[in-house]
Amino acid sequence: MALPTYASPLERVWYYTFRGICGLIFLFLIMPILIIMPLSFNVEPYFSFTEGMLSLDPDAYSLRWYRDILENGMANPAAMGGEWWSDMWNNAQWVRAIRNSFYIGFFATLISTVLGTIAALGLSRPNMPYRNLIMGILISPMIVPLIISAAAMYFFYSSAGLAQTDLGVILAHAVLGTPFVVITVTATLVGFDHSLTRAAASMGASPPRTFFKVILPLITPGVISGALFAFITSFDEVVAVLFLGGLEQRTIPRQMWSGIREQISPTILAVATLLVLISIALLTVLELLRRRNERIRGMTPQ
Amino acid sequence: MKSILKYSALVAAAVGMTASVAQAEDITVVSWGGAYTQSQVKAYHQPWMANTGNVINSEDYSGGLAEVRAQTEAGNVTWDLLDVTMSDAIAGCDEGIFEAVDHDALLAAAPDGTKPTGDFLEGSLGECFIPQIVYSTVWAYSKKAFPDGGPQNIMDVFDLEKFPGKRALQKSPLYNLEWALMADGVPSDQVYDVLETEEGVERAFAKLDTIKDQVVWWTAGAQPPQLMADGEVVVGTAYNGRWFSAIAEEKQPFEMIWYGQALDLDGWAILKGGSKKDTVKDFLKFATDTQRLADQAKYISYGPARKSSAPLVGKHAELGIDMGPHMPTNPDNMTEAFMTNFDFWADNKDELNERFQAWIAG
Amino acid sequence: MANVADTMPDPMTGEDGIPLKTKLRIAERRNRIKAALLVLPLFAFILVTFLVPIGQMLYRSVENNIIADNLPRTIELLSEWDGNNLPPEPVFETMVAELKIARETKEIGKIGKRLNYEMSGMLSLFKKSGRKVRKLETGPYKEALIKIDKDWGDPEVWATIKQVSDRITGSYYLAAVDLKRSPQGEIVAQPDYKQIYVSLFIKTLWISLLVTMTCILLGFPVSFLLSNLPMRTSNLLMILVLLPFWTSLLVRTTSWIALLQSEGMINDLLVTIGFIGDDERLKMMFNQTGTIIAMTHILLPFMILPLYSVMKTISPSYVRAARSLGANPFTAFWRIYFPQTLPGIGAGSILVFILSIGYYITPALVGGQDGQLISNLIAYHMQSSLNWGLAAALGSILLAGVLVLYMIYNKIVGIDNMKLG
């Protein structure tokens, strides 16, 4: 979309104005995410750049809010060595929240990835009956507003004794994550060449062998990106945790939620910075997967 | 470990050993968390566990009856004893969530032999409710905003001309209606009579209208001191314990306005359907005796609900401040103070909440 | 997968003598069953952990057993009462008897609470009467009950009891749209000061619409730029869209608080450059403005991604043809290019709209008092007022709206074509 040499002055003006506008929109998208990073190193408990920070005075920066992530809630932050570590691991509020998030996220992802991938295999068979209807039902957890899902699950899980248990939250997150797995894996299978499985079968491979040796390697990128979606869904989810989780199931977003509501401190910015780094890592993995997927399919990026 | 304990208790009973209250049992006691639970653990839980060998699993919740109600509805009660406000205790009692109690039979008498019904503050005992503390929602102002002295009473806090600036109020009709009427000239002991009438409610909302633009609404107890420290508000309401810790522990330049404080009670309710009634009752008897209630005030500035505990209230365990003057129940703090009318709110909560929400949105 | 075609000796019959058609049909059926079996585990999982709970919640919005269960004989007698004056003595007599039972079974508070939704004061009426009827042994019960509380002499009390006696009720739905039944049984509007839900639904729709429009306005130029740049550059710029998309909702809400609050960065900046005075800091947070800004930011990627994928497929030759035929740039864009982007705009808009009408977290954190949406009130009735019937009714209405939008989305885009990232 380079500016052609014969463009009129008006077109020139518009061309640069348009780019300027787009630049501002990109700024709107990315600025809030970048701005919190330097702020999280503020030595003062403010949400704003101090004069010292602007003049790049090293004393205006500190790691105190990162230290607070580790120490907030500890019984004895002054202890040394092994005692400090076990205290931090077991008692620090944020550390526990981080542990819960990964624990719940891992199992929720496991359940939704396994169930979602198998279902996607069925859905992409040409002879799946009532395909649209079933697809609609399977991805409904993504469509129903979270507050309704959370309220409904709250009633039901309480009656099953699952409210305020790890299992309850894991199941809820697994349900919310499956649509993403179904969608991404189905999308991968759309371009899937079915003659490959027939070829495998004709050469005598058993169906499980065909699955593990032929199908799985080809759909792996889709499965992994589906799993990442499921993981981030659980990792980022707070409404269901608010309703279903007790104190033992506090996750990072749940902890941030009470932090923002009750006593907003720069510790939240430090946690937020760490979460942004995690997102960057996830995004990189996804991008690599996408490239690999295109390479396997023989499509090269233009 | 838990199941082993239970199992050994069963075996003990089976071989005919005396399986009485003395048998170690663990019970789940649920409270508000934070500094409040800590004060209970120090004053009640630890001495009781040391005396009896029983174990208390202390859990936290964020208030409200939604969780317990869902548990009871499903017949799946996992908690034994719950720390609740009196209004929640009444609501839970109505809903059949809590066990009714006979206070004189269950609780310890005062050291001088006064029965519990005579020793606990008047009107503080509920059908399913055993009070622990009196707390209040109370006004305070920022000395930074008003260095020459701030508002002194409820009329002042509603006076935007004399004391301009934002106010922090709880996002609930509770107390705001009462205070609005008081600011409009109704004495605190007649507030509920006036609120019973349609005109009274309208009058209260009309008075609130006069400050509506200047109100910042809070929803969590930690917010008002924070808002005031940040300079977002200059006057506001909060629980007295929150003001106390902001002033005494964090040295914030705030001043409390005890005038017209709204008193409320917090205490215990036994969950229906629990299987460890005897142990729970043993704990309750211990935790609500005269000395224990006075002990709790060492750790947090809420007043004991027993008259006989008041003289025993000493100094703050860490700050060394004499806690007496900081108790909502201190006679010096009782000017125009009023006790929440729980029956009124049980009846009108739903309607007034809707009205309040509509008013806020309008 | 048995493959018939490879092993077939005769075009019409298989080697085992079964006609090919039959074999094919059997094979196809087997394939269908196989496909269904693969989907079954997830289907069962979603059914049990998601669909059944939703169904159960929908049932809560009409369930109304408490009165029918506990005052069966009274409401049977009341069904013959004409609604004028007071009901006859036998009604009072059975009421006293059933109050005694309800007091024993501890159901009396629940009865009162249910009736209190319809008429304030019923809860204390029932609790008080429950305590006192124990001593009532002989009639006449009418006078005795009225002596306990004069409200029993009010025909409206009895009419209300009669009204909520059905086991299935629409009253929660009526309440959810600011209506109620008058004691005479007609459907009437709630008094002005209690009308909140309809205006809240409208406000929710309005804010969602506003957010959707803003997303179109901001998303269109960006998608246009991305789809017209060389792949390498656009992939790089795409990161600026995808990073927010992958970043936690709470992180983004937090940063908006840091930016927009009155002691926040934007206000500080404006004060420092002297644009506004220190005492006239703008209120951009904890109100509707804050909600709209933060929601737009959070939902913008959901607009850009589908719009981009549609624009990518639009061939530039149409616009070039229009230009060469003499159309000016604006006409060429508006008449030729823009109509081709409509499916993308449609898909993005519905996605953004669906997500925003159910939004809970952001309004709850930055909405303040006038930025709250319908889901915040559902949460309030779930957790604080415990009026679960009303919460369920509000939720069902919201759900119905979302499902309609979802079907439209399905018609426009097809759920198969939904893409992520």
Q: Residue C269 corresponds to which tokens in the numbers above?
A: 């900046």
DSSP A40-99: TTBSSS-SS--HHHHTT-GGGB-SHHHHHHHHTT-S-TT--HHHHHHHHHHH-HHHHHHH
pLDDT (tens digit per residue) in A194-219: 788 888 888 888 888 888 888 888 88
Angstrom distance (rounded) from CA A256 to CA C362: 12
The radius of gyration of chain B's CA atoms, rounded to the nearest angstrom, is 22
User: How many C-beta neighbours within 10 Å does residue A148 have?
Assistant: 26
Q: Where are the domains of chain A?
A: 96-296
- pLDDT for residue C415: 61
pLDDT at A2: 63
Interface of A with B (CB under 8 A): 154-155, 158-161, 163-164, 246-247, 261-264
A157 touches chain C (CB under 8 A): yes
- For residue range A82-123, list pLDDT tens digits in order: 888 888 888 788 999 999 999 999 999 999 999 999 999 898
**Which pLDDT belongs to residue A275?**
92
* Structural contact between residues C25 and A115, judged by C-beta atoms closer than 8 angstroms: no
Query: Looking at residues B315-319, what average pLDDT do you find?
Result: 78
Interface test with B, best of A157, A158, A162, A260 (most B CBs within 10 A): A158
CB contact under 8 A, A146 and C360: yes
pLDDT attached to residue A147: 92
Nearest to C106 among B96, B205, B357 (CB): B96
User: Which structure tokens are listed for B124?
Assistant: 């503080």
- CB-CB contact of C377 with C197 (8 Å): yes
Q: What percent of chain C has pLDDT over 90?
A: 34
Answer whether residue C350 shows pLDDT above 90: no
Angle at A268 between CA A265 and CA A271, to 5 degrees: 150
Which chain C residues contact residue B216 at CB under 8 A? 286
d(CA C54, CA A259): 30
Using CA coordinates, name the residue in chain A closest to B79. Answer: A164
Window from A21-35, C37-51, C58-72, C172-186 with minimum mean pLDDT: C172-186
Query: What does residue B166 show for φ and ψ, rounded to 5 degrees?
Result: -75, 150
Using DSSP's 3-state secondary structure scheme, residue C370 falls into coil
pLDDT-derived band at A300, boundaries 50, 70, 90 = very low
- Range picked from A280-294, B67-81, B336-350 for highest mean pLDDT: B336-350
Partners of B358 on chain C (C-beta within 8 Å) are 193-196
Give the tens place of pLDDT for each residue, A137-196: 998 998 899 999 999 998 888 888 888 889 999 999 999 999 989 988 888 887 777 788
- Of B176, B359, B65, the closest CA to residue C113 belongs to B65
Chain B partners within 8 Å of A246 (Cβ): 59, 61
With a pLDDT cut of 70, the percent of chain C lying above it is 95
- Enumerate the residues of chain A whose CB falls inside 8 A of the CB of residue C231: 301-302
Q: Is the pLDDT of residue A234 over 90?
A: yes
What is the pLDDT averaged over residues C238-257?
90
Cα(C321)–Cα(C171) distance, integer angstroms = 62
Q: Tell me whether residues A26 and C221 touch, CB distance under 8 A.
A: no
pLDDT at C170 over 70: yes
Model confidence at B121, in pLDDT bands (50, 70, 90)? Answer: confident
Taking an 8 Å cut-off on Cβ atoms, the answer to whether B70 and A160 are in contact is no
pLDDT, residue B5, reads 40
What per-residue confidence (pLDDT) applies to B194? 95
pLDDT at A298: 58
For residues A15 and C184, which has the higher predicted lDDT (pLDDT)?
Answer: A15
Across the interface, whether the CB atoms of B350 and C383 are under 8 A apart is answered no
Q: Please report which confidence band the pLDDT of residue C421 belongs to, taking 50, 70 and 90 as the band edges.
A: very low
Task: Give the rounded percent of residues in chain B with a pLDDT score beyond 90.
Answer: 39
CB atoms within 10 A of CB A270: 24
pLDDT bracket for residue B74 (50, 70, 90): confident
The pLDDT score that the predictor gives to residue B204 is 96
Per-residue pLDDT of B143-166, as tens digits, reads 988 998 889 999 999 999 999 999
pLDDT computed for residue A25 by the predictor: 96
Tell whether A16 lies on the interface with C, counting CB pairs under 8 A: no
Rounded mean pLDDT, A35-47: 84
What pLDDT is stored for residue C398 in this prediction? Answer: 94
Q: Any residues with CB less than 8 A from the CB of B209 and at least 6 apart, and which?
A: none
Please state the domain extents for chain C.
4-53, 67-162, 197-417
> Looking at per-residue confidence, does C284 or B236 come out higher?
B236
Are B76 and A264 in contact (CB < 8 Å)? no
pLDDT at position B190, please?
94
Question: Nearest CB to B66: which of C108, C200, C386?
Answer: C386
> Which of A25, A36, A140 comes nearest C221 by C-beta?
A25
Which residue in A has a C-alpha nearest to residue C377's C-alpha? A147
Write down the architecture of domain C197-417 according to CATH: Orthogonal Bundle (1.10)
Average pLDDT, integer, range B238-258: 89
Domain A96-296 classification at class level? mainly alpha
pLDDT for the residue numbered C83: 79
> CB–CB of C54 and A152 under 8 A?
yes
pLDDT over 50 (residue A271)? yes
* pLDDT at res. B175: 94
The nearest CA of chain B is from the CA of C227 a distance in Å of: 43
Report whether pLDDT(B19) > 70. no
Mean pLDDT (whole number) for B35-45: 87
Q: If you measure CA to CA, which chain B residue comes closest to A260?
A: B223
Query: Is residue C2's pLDDT more than 60?
Result: no
pLDDT of residue C299: 94
**Mean per-residue pLDDT over chain A, rounded:** 86
CB within 8 Å of A180: residues ≥ 6 apart? A112, A116, A142, A226, A229, A230, A233, C420
B171 neighbourhood in chain C, CB within 8 Å? 369
Query: Which of C240, C261, C399 is the closest to A26 by Cβ?
Result: C240
Q: Residue B17: what pLDDT?
A: 39
| ipTM, two decimals | 0.87
Do B95 and C110 lie within an 8 Å CB cutoff? yes
- The answer, yes or no, to whether residue B217 has pLDDT greater than 50, is yes
Please name the chains neighbouring C, where neighbouring means 3+ C-beta pairs under 8 angstroms.
Answer: A, B
The model's confidence at residue A263, banded by pLDDT at 50, 70 and 90, is low
- Residues of A with CB below 8 A from B67's CB? 158, 163-164
- B196 contacts in chain C (CB < 8 Å): none
Domains and CATH numbers, chain B: 2-134+265-325 (3.40.190.10), 135-264+329-361 (3.40.190.10)
pLDDT at B76 over 80: no
Is C384 a residue whose pLDDT tops 70?
Answer: yes
Mean pLDDT check: name the lowest of B48-52, B197-201, C27-31, C216-220: C27-31
The per-residue pLDDT for C202 is 93
Please tell me the predicted confidence (pLDDT) of residue B2. Answer: 40
pLDDT at residue A169 in the model: 95
Q: Is the pLDDT of residue C86 over 80?
A: yes
Asked whether C93 and C66 are in contact (CB, 8 A), the reply is no
Residue C70 vs residue B8, higher pLDDT:
C70
